Structure 1
Amino acid sequence: MHDTLMLLLQVLGALGIFIFGMKLMSESILKFAGERLRAIMSSMTTNRFAGILTGLFITSLVQSSSATTVMVVSFVHAQLLTLTQSIGVIMGANLGTTITAWIVSAGFKFSLASVAIPIIGIGVVLSFLKGNKLRHFGNFLTGFGLLFLGLGELKASVPDVKNNVEMLEWVTQLSSYGFFSLIIFILMGTALTVIVQSSSAAMAITLTMASLGWLNFEQSAAIILGENIGTTITAFLASLPANVAAKRAARAHFMFNIIGVTWMLFLIVPFSKLVLWVYDIVSSAAPGFILKDNALTTQLALFHTMFNLFNIALLVAFIPHIAKLVTRMVADKEGDSQSATFRYLRSFSVGTGELNFKEATQALQQLGNLTGKMFKSFIEIYDHPEKDMSPQVKEIDSLEKKANALTDELTEYLIRCTSDEVSEDTRKRAYSYLRVASELEEIGDCCHRMTNRAVRRYKKGRLVTQTAEREVVQFGNLVARFIDLYSSKLSTDVSASDMELTIDFEKAINEKRKELRKRSVNRMIESPENVKPELLYVDIVNTFERIANHARNVMQGLPKQLD
């Protein structure tokens, strides 16, 4: 019992080193090139083939199909990708994740575990040097070394079947049910991936057991097929709090993998022969490329790659049909086609902050647009005291609630982002966005308070002179131009000329406020009976100036362009 427990702990420890190394590699790449990867994702998906190449490229770099599919779900939710584009990216991600099998196989063939410690040593030294790029590269090397160190420990921890024949009996029994044995091993692969929450770790376990004689080719291939199904659980979990479009993207990921596993179930024997035939050709043509003493792991890596290639070739023409199928499976819900808030922000999971930060920018832009719409609606209400503007008042109430909800979600996401494993640039941008979101919420609150005062003014007939009323509307149009300025900069960096324009706006608005207040005081002296309307007038003029101050803070808080 004690020996079994120690064996289990050794396997878990080795697996933990492997997973941590893979995670560190992935995070280092995201910190180094996260912005570029997000740009690639949003721009290189013009058609299904470009989407496949994009998914392949990003997953090969990040070494995590889960990270890529979570990013896809996020982008679909934020309407940066269509459902059809997302399916192409997911197909490419499935092919990109096969690189992991080749890395693991190479670790067995070339004994990279023997050089893992020196690699880790170099990586740790680089991670302490100045300069973000050097630190990220050092962390990447450290993760790379830990990955192979964990792989070597995993192989050493799992007992060799040659010396423990009795431990293979349960595997032999599972293989005695014919076609149903394949289904059993597929379910094992699915369960293994769901439990460890990493198809890469599940693949490492499978290839380790195969290399030590626990599993033969057919059994290992069936487990690998199950891992293809199990890896879809990550995208499914990420889509739970998201909108209908994101749920469809996650469902498409599942459908693509389940269709591939289904046809492979019936063709696994001839397909396995094809894989072994290709292996023999490659090993004969390039004997130095493949080492015979560990052929099984290479054959399984080849099986994984060829399966995904064939599955993509088979289904790429049916991407629109898959999109239609998942659209029927996940029906539209009333009010969910255009979500007012970014509910996906709340589904934040550690390690995805860098990939999903684009949605925070989208949310900030939407928040800015809401404040602009609220202010212009207020000006319309104020300019028509003789009309019943109840629909516009209700709209501003609704917009204020949406702005508050969006601010709460965005703030929560940004706070988590600052503590997540993101690049220094992204962390600084998150802090900037926190300040900007707070200022935008204040502007929305000012608009809501002014609307309530305008309603009171309308009901009690507290109007000043027509000339003064027109001056307020003109003043409001000046403030609206300032709001348009910051709204246009929420998705980009602010330049020096933008800040000069900001100073000009604030100065002009401040001078206008002083001018209108002075005129109001003179009117109150001349007509004391109009004090209440004038006080309401002055309060709105002062609020315009407060909005301008918040707008200035927004421009100051946004990231600046480098000279």
Structure 2
Amino acid sequence: MEIFLMVLGGLGLFLFAVNNLSETLKELIGNKANKWLDLFTKNLLTSVITGTVATILLDSSSAVIIMTIVLVNAGALSFRQSLGIVMGANIGTTFSSQLIALDIGQYSPIPIFLGLVFSFISKNEKVSKTARVVLFFGILFFGLYTMERAVEPLKDHKQFLSWMEKLDSPLRGTLIGALVTLVIQSSSATVGMVITLAKKELINLPGAIAVMLGSELGTCSDTLMATIRSDRQAVKTGLFHLLFNIICIALGLAAFPYFNTFIEWVSNGAGMQQKIANAHMIFNIAGVVLFLPLIPFVEKLLNRFLPEKQKAAQQVESSATA
């Protein structure tokens, strides 16, 4: 029971930090983010780079994709411009995995203390918000550190180890990863928990990669919810995010044994947590590279599946006249 409560507390701190970090950074950046998105989305490649950078800055792929859907719905971005941003967001979210893989949780009280002090004593709003960003980063890593310390006794728990071994099944691990992400609404938290388990040698690479694949699917839920009562262009952006992740996951499952071997080779000598972070980054970058040639086809498919209402009406009128 104590382990469960500590893990729950650590997860709560992590989710609290992720949510507030994203909101504070959006306040700090302000409308500049919208201007940058519009300025640097002139072609597909710059859109991908913009989505990547924006996600690294906001530390949330969901926040970037939801903001993109809102801008598309408002007419500030076109559906085509949004495609690269969505794919770039998937790359940007792997940056947090690399940070989590670093064993810096024990130093998290330092940014918590500094962020708290400067947010209180500073009269400058910009400095105060920057201090809050530092504070939430500290809380984020403290939450992970709490979970890491909590799961340590599970090394000797036979039932838990037996259950973790079942994650080696790619399909089962993927479904569990999707379900966990659906519940906690954060793929970063899911991957963070997997890396935390890896630090304590409680999960192996195949199981970790399977859960990571599932987290990519689970994260689509909140972006799809953002399309409710939106226009068709915004709905197509949400559907593209879902379709992109499903295709990438399907390819990942099809090449699962080879991908595992490749990660072992690339990460030769690295710890398990670093292997998982590398797998997360390589998988998402490879997905974008492989998907880029398919963009024109997918765009036409979604345009045909969800045509503009005005065009549809014109087609009905022309057919009636004929």
1:49 equivalenced with 2:66 (yes/no): no
Which residue of 2 is the match for residue 147 of structure 1? Answer: 140
1:170 equivalenced with 2:194 (yes/no): no
Q: Deviations over 1:144-191 (max 9, x none)?
A: 11111111101111244432233212233454xxxxx21111111111
Which residue of 2 is the match for residue 137 of structure 1? Answer: 130
1:303 equivalenced with 2:279 (yes/no): yes
Contact 1:59 1:68 in 2 (8 A): yes
Corresponding letter in the other structure for 2:183: I
Contact 1:209 1:215 in 2 (8 A): yes
Which residue of 2 is the match for residue 530 of structure 1? Answer: none
Instruction: Give me the whole-angstrom Cα distance separating, in 2, the residues matched to 1:80 and 1:186.
Output: 36
Instruction: Give me the whole-angstrom Cα distance separating, in 2, the residues matched to 1:139 and 1:276.
Output: 38
Structure with more relative contact order (C-alpha pairs < 8 Å, separation 6 or more) = 2
Which residue of 2 is the match for residue 22 of structure 1? Answer: 18
Matches for 1:473-488 after TM superposition, within 5 Å: none
TM-score, normalised on structure 1?
Answer: 0.53
Instruction: Give me the whole-angstrom Cα distance separating, in 2, the residues matched to 1:171 and 1:121.
Output: 36
1:318 equivalenced with 2:294 (yes/no): yes
Contact 1:105 1:207 in 2 (8 A): yes
| Structure 2 SS opposite 1:239 | coil
Contact 2:167 2:210 in 1 (8 A): no
Q: Deviations over 1:420-462 (max 9, x none)?
A: xxxxxxxxxxxxxxxxxxxxxxxxxxxxxxxxxxxxxxxxxxx
Length, aligned pairs only: 312
Matches for 1:187-336 after TM superposition, within 5 Å: 187-280=175-268, 292=270, 295-333=271-309
Corresponding letter in the other structure for 2:173: F
Structure 2 stretches lacking a partner, 5+ long: 314-322
Instruction: Give me the whole-angstrom Cα distance separating, in 1, the residues matched to 2:312 and 2:126.
Output: 42
Cα gap change, 1:336 to 1:199, in 2 (>3 Å): farther
1:61 equivalenced with 2:57 (yes/no): yes
Instruction: Give me the whole-angstrom Cα distance separating, in 1, the residues matched to 2:244 and 2:27.
Output: 30
Instruction: Give me the whole-angstrom Cα distance separating, in 2, the residues matched to 1:74 and 1:221.
Output: 32
Q: Deviations over 1:47-74 (max 9, x none)?
A: 1001000000100000000000001111
Instruction: Give me the whole-angstrom Cα distance separating, in 2, the residues matched to 1:206 and 1:326.
Output: 34
Instruction: Give me the whole-angstrom Cα distance separating, in 2, the residues matched to 1:174 and 1:151.
Output: 21
Q: Deviations over 1:530-558 (max 9, x none)?
A: xxxxxxxxxxxxxxxxxxxxxxxxxxxxx
Corresponding letter in the other structure for 1:76: V
Matches for 1:463-542 after TM superposition, within 5 Å: none
Corresponding letter in the other structure for 1:42: D
Post-superposition offset of 1:219:
0.8
Corresponding letter in the other structure for 1:23: N
Post-superposition offset of 1:335:
9.7
Post-superposition offset of 1:123:
0.7
Percent identity (aligned)? 29
Contact 2:20 2:136 in 1 (8 A): yes
| Structure 1 SS opposite 2:31 | helix
Instruction: Give me the whole-angstrom Cα distance separating, in 1, the residues matched to 2:129 and 2:97.
Output: 24
Corresponding letter in the other structure for 2:123: K
Matches for 1:85-104 after TM superposition, within 5 Å: 85-104=81-100
Post-superposition offset of 1:336:
9.8
Contact 2:212 2:280 in 1 (8 A): yes
Higher Rg: 1
Matches for 1:389-428 after TM superposition, within 5 Å: none
Q: Deviations over 1:124-148 (max 9, x none)?
A: 1111211011101110111111111
Post-superposition offset of 1:17:
0.9
Instruction: Give me the whole-angstrom Cα distance separating, in 2, the residues matched to 1:173 and 1:72.
Output: 38
